[in-house]
Amino acid sequence: MTPSPQSPRPRPRSPLMRRDPAALGIPQAALLALADRLAEESLDPHALLIARGGDVAFETAWAPYALDRPALVYSASKTYTALAIGYLADERRLRLDDSAGMLLGLPDPHGITVRHLLTMNTGHTGAQIEAIGMDPARLLATGPSHAPGTFFAYNSPASHALSAIVTAVTGERMTDYLRPRLLDPLGIGERWMDSVDGIQTGASGFHLTVDDLTRTATMLGAGGVFRGTQVASDWFIEEMTRPWSNTAAFDGPVAAAGEVNDWALGYGYQVWRSRHGFRLDGAAGQFALVVPELDLTIAYQGATLDTQATLRAFWAFVDAVGVASVAGEAADASEGIYASELPAAGDPAPDTWSSRERLTIMTEASFEADGLMLSDAGDGWTLALPGVGTLPVSDAWTAARLSRGDALSAPSSRPEAVADPAADDLRLAARGEQRSDGSVLVHVVDTTSPHRVIVIREADGSLRAGWHIPPIGGGWEVLRVPSVVTRRLARSSALLLDMDGTLVDSHAVVERLWTQWSIDHGIDPAYTLSIIHGRQGQESMALLLPDRPPEVTIAENRELLAAETAQTEGVVAIAGAGALLEGLKTLPHALVTSATRALADARMEAAGIRMPAVAVTAEDVVRSKPDPEGFLAAARRLGVEPADAIVVEDSANGIAAGLAAGMRVIGIGPHAAAAGPTWTVPDATAIHVQDDGDGGIRLTLD
């Protein structure tokens, strides 16, 4: 057995270059039309990345999804399985016309070869394939209704058999075998594929980002070349993308009358031919489209059963790019737009709650509702979800991470597809809305998959719930993943931390004193509390009482600060804050707060957590958040470039200040997502830091 080459030291995952769309010959109107169409046609878009020549023209994620969080891509996984076979053929460890049974050490009475598996031409019918399941021995032993090589039927067991061949030949899991050959050269980070009986599924189960899909599609479109390096053999890519199988009779997604059906154009080695080029294709709309004639790729994750409608939207976009290319439109960046000017994650356009309301429950899909409960709780609700646990719900997306131990009821048995004991987590986000008819609508999204549950509490209190699109192969259990899938990585020269709401929970004191202040001045306390967070007190007072003399406001704020400093009862540390500060002890970091130094010292001491050596407080700035002055001052004191620093903030004002400083922002807490930070986490327990070996910080976000 030939050992795999050792991976070199993990390569830095250098980003794809971001360029102005106009400079890449992509019209602004076409991008806007595509983004709008995906949302308006209720196709439930999650993430989208468009690249040309390997450069990114546009990327966005629709809340609560994130561009940097891998998600289940279902059968798009199959293409990676085919590539693994290609590497084995290159290394002369197998031939495509070898007997599959010979390679697996199993009987092969019907002469099924590796190529038959790659092209899904084993000769089995759909009914036979369903009965076979993920069992290579049974696949080879079952007599096909047609001669192998003469009949196509969509065949995930064949893909799983290919993964089993990779492991049988190499002694490695398929993705471990691919790591030094494909994943590292493409810059694809640590990822996860689920397994069946210890063999990676091969047919599904890979969790990838749209960036990962783009890197793969760019390489395939360039004949195996990525950034000047031949990553995969051109002969195999050429064979892989031919229409080996006739799929004209395939019973796939329905096309409109007179429309070309994209599932009737042929099948290669685990890729589909398209009306333009070819594609990686996963259930419910997980796509990587390769359009070689335009040097264009589209990577997408969404959730719809009408996947032909999703492709229809993409082809309209491709046609517009083609027309612009033929017309030779000037690639003048000054007349174009930058991706940041288009809808981006967190902006109102991508987070189209109105389009989410049009998504419906699939009533025929099985859903465990025994024990379901939706209760009013303060300014939101609490949802008890069977098989999952208890989730907080508000009118903004609220993230939650739940392990199997949190489940309200344990399943009687685990599906075989979830054979990895480390696959314990569900990473969810919930959002609710009180509707005018008295009902409540709640969406619970699994952010590592295409799936969501819709819960409706009618005005009379009755509940109904179900999947928008059910997971393949089971319910919540098949969606559980290990922590590597929910983990996000970043590097920073320094971490700049807010205090109240980020490290310290002082809301009881703040709300009590500001509520009384509002009542004393005839102001609605709810309005006061909606604007004060992140701001210095005197600025908040000036906004609320703009006609009052400044000297009166300053004096009154001094009195309020004294009261806040003296009243520390109920001030506690935010979960994980102490551990985060201890981890940062020898790393560059600073506190940036709108509180005075005395107030900051009092609250940090009351919470029992360490005060950073560098602190920018109210005395050190002229303007408070949302002005970026405080964060810029902290960066100067630490001697780092603003763009290399990362802010940790909970309030909309603080998040706006960090972004205005040109910094990336980790939004912390249930309301942070609405302000559009770079990342969101539920609390400080989800932030892990270590020395990056180069004087900076390596962050891991759960």
User: Which of the two residues, 119 and 532, has the higher pLDDT score?
Assistant: 119
pLDDT of the residue at 337: 37
Model pLDDT for residues 533-543, shown as the tens digit of each residue? 667 777 888 88
Instruction: Please say whether the beta carbons of 568 and 562 come within 8 A.
Output: no
Asked if pLDDT for residue 22 goes beyond 80, the answer is yes
% of residues, the chain, pLDDT over 70: 92
pLDDT of the residue at 415: 46
- Tell me the pLDDT of the chain averaged across its residues: 89
Range among 57-71, 87-101, 387-401, 552-566 rated most confident: 87-101
Q: How many CB atoms lie within 10 A of CB 348?
A: 10
What are the φ and ψ backbone dihedral angles of 266, each rounded to 5 degrees?
A: 110, 155
Question: Across-strand partners of 58?
Answer: 50
Question: Across-strand partners of 286?
Answer: 282, 301
Point out the catalytic residue in the list 194, 498, 644, 702: 498
pLDDT of the residue at 583: 96
pLDDT band at 483; cut points 50, 70, 90? confident
Range among 194-198, 342-346, 447-451, 602-606 rated most confident: 447-451
In whole angstroms, what is the distance from residue 109 CA to residue 564 CA? 82
From residue 689, how far is each of 502, 515, 578, 648 by CA, in Å? Answer: 16, 37, 13, 13
Order of strands across the sheet that contains 687-691 = 488-492, 697-701, 687-691
Asked if pLDDT for residue 10 goes beyond 70, the answer is no
In this prediction, residues 460-467 reach a mean pLDDT of: 96
In whole angstroms, what is the distance from residue 379 CA to residue 175 CA? 45
In whole angstroms, what is the distance from residue 419 CA to residue 580 CA? 33
Which alpha helices (H) appear in 171-278, and where do they start and end? 174-178, 184-186, 210-221, 234-240
Instruction: Please say whether the beta carbons of 165 and 174 come within 8 A.
Output: no
pLDDT band at 352; cut points 50, 70, 90? low
In whole angstroms, what is the distance from residue 501 CA to residue 607 CA? 12
| Residue 227, C-beta contacts closer than 8 angstroms, at least 6 positions apart | 54
In this prediction, residues 545-570 reach a mean pLDDT of: 80
pLDDT of the residue at 593: 94
pLDDT of the residue at 329: 56
Question: Which residues in 422-461 are b (16+ Cβ under 10 Å) and which e?
Answer: ebbbbbbbbbbeeeeeeebbbbbbbbbbbbbbbbbbeeee
Point out the catalytic residue in the list 184, 500, 683, 702: 500
Instruction: Please say whether the beta carbons of 380 and 671 come within 8 A.
Output: no
pLDDT of the residue at 671: 80
Beta strands in 121-238 (DSSP E): 192-193, 195-196, 199-200, 206-208, 225-226, 229-230
pLDDT of the residue at 441: 95
Two tokens, residue 596: 């005075």
Burial of 529 (0-12, 13-18, 19+ CB in 10 A): middle
pLDDT of the residue at 319: 96
Model pLDDT for residues 210-224, shown as the tens digit of each residue? 999 999 999 999 999
In this prediction, residues 233-256 reach a mean pLDDT of: 94
pLDDT band at 507; cut points 50, 70, 90? confident
Asked if pLDDT for residue 697 goes beyond 50, the answer is yes
In this prediction, residues 66-76 reach a mean pLDDT of: 94
Q: How many CB atoms lie within 10 A of CB 608?
A: 12
Instruction: Please say whether the beta carbons of 178 and 208 come within 8 A.
Output: no
In this prediction, residues 675-701 reach a mean pLDDT of: 90
**347 part of the active site:** no
Model pLDDT for residues 279-332, shown as the tens digit of each residue? 999 999 999 999 999 999 999 999 999 999 999 999 999 999 999 887 765 344
pLDDT band at 482; cut points 50, 70, 90? very high
pLDDT of the residue at 342: 46
In this prediction, residues 614-622 reach a mean pLDDT of: 95
In this prediction, residues 435-452 reach a mean pLDDT of: 96
pLDDT band at 657; cut points 50, 70, 90? very high
In this prediction, residues 115-119 reach a mean pLDDT of: 98
Cα–Cα nearest to 57, from 40, 32, 76: 32
DSSP string for residues in 398-419: EEEEEEGGG-SS--SS--TT--
pLDDT band at 13; cut points 50, 70, 90? low
- Classify residue 245 as left (phi > 0), alpha (psi -120 to 50) or beta: beta
pLDDT band at 353; cut points 50, 70, 90? low
User: Which of the two residues, 6 and 290, has the higher pLDDT score?
Assistant: 290
Question: Across-strand partners of 492?
Answer: 697
Instruction: Please say whether the beta carbons of 46 and 39 come within 8 A.
Output: no
Asked if pLDDT for residue 5 goes beyond 60, the answer is no
107-116, 279-288, 507-516, range with the lowest pLDDT = 507-516
Model pLDDT for residues 559-610, shown as the tens digit of each residue? 777 777 777 788 889 999 999 999 999 999 999 998 899 999 998 999 999 9
Characterize the bridge pairing of strands 687-691 and 679-681: unpaired
Asked if pLDDT for residue 27 goes beyond 70, the answer is yes
| Residue 499, C-beta contacts closer than 8 angstroms, at least 6 positions apart | 591, 593, 595, 600, 603, 604
Asked if pLDDT for residue 347 goes beyond 60, the answer is no
| Residue 549, C-beta contacts closer than 8 angstroms, at least 6 positions apart | none
User: Which of the two residues, 562 and 238, has the higher pLDDT score?
Assistant: 238
DSSP 8-state secondary structure symbol assigned to residue 618? G
| Residue 267, C-beta contacts closer than 8 angstroms, at least 6 positions apart | 119, 120, 152, 243, 244, 245, 247, 273
In whole angstroms, what is the distance from residue 657 CA to residue 641 CA? 16
pLDDT of the residue at 269: 98
Question: Across-strand partners of 466?
Answer: 454
Task: Kindly report the length of the chain.
Answer: 702
In this prediction, residues 59-69 reach a mean pLDDT of: 89
pLDDT band at 46; cut points 50, 70, 90? very high
Q: Which domains does the chain have, with CATH numbers?
A: 27-69+209-221+232-343 (3.40.710.10), 77-207 (3.40.710.10), 360-478 (no CATH), 490-701 (3.40.50.1000)
In whole angstroms, what is the distance from residue 625 CA to residue 33 CA? 36
Model pLDDT for residues 154-208, shown as the tens digit of each residue? 999 999 999 999 999 999 999 999 999 999 999 998 899 999 989 999 999 999 9
**212 part of the active site:** no
Q: Residue by residue, what is the 3-state secondary structure of 19-51?
A: CCHHHHCCCHHHHHHHHHHHHHCCCCEEEEEEE
